[in-house]
């Protein structure tokens, strides 16, 4: 194989590699842009949800939420059950017992 043939073969292989790699790079760019779009959309939805939640909280619950990151709700049937609500991916609410000595049991 002459030097000219070797260079021609190398150029051919490089063109093949580029033809195979460019669609992959384009697909990666599309996926990255779509992921960023979804993240922005999710953030806007979460911000709207928090705004709506704050609009429905009582003044005491709102101050507790802003101070502690959660607020408490008393059960409507018995008045004994208390729920602590926080925005968390691990679970939004946790039930507590009656107040005993100023603390939730």
- With tokens 């704050």, the residue in question is 54
Residue the block writes with tokens 């008045």 = 79
pTM: 0.55
pLDDT at residue 12 greater than cutoff 50: yes
The domain segmentation of the chain, as residue ranges, is 1-56, 58-105
pLDDT of residue 105: 42
- Check pLDDT > 60 for residue 100: no
| pLDDT per residue as tens digits for the range 40-84 | 998 898 889 889 989 999 999 999 999 998 888 887 776 677 888
**Residue 9: CB partners within 8 Å, gap ≥ 6?**
1
């Amino acid at each position: 194989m002459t030097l000219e043939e070797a260079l021609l073969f190398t150029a051919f292989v490089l063109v093949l590699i580029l033809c195979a790699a460019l669609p992959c790079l384009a697909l990666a760019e599309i996926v990255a842009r779509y992921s960023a779009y979804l993240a922005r959309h999710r953030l806007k939805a979460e911000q709207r949800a928090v705004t709506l939640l704050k609009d429905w909280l009582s003044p005491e619950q709102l101050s507790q939420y802003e101070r502690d990151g959660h607020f408490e709700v008393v059960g409507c049937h018995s008045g004994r059950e208390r729920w602590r609500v926080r925005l968390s991916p691990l679970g939004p609410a946790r039930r507590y017992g009656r107040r005993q000595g100023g603390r939730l049991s």
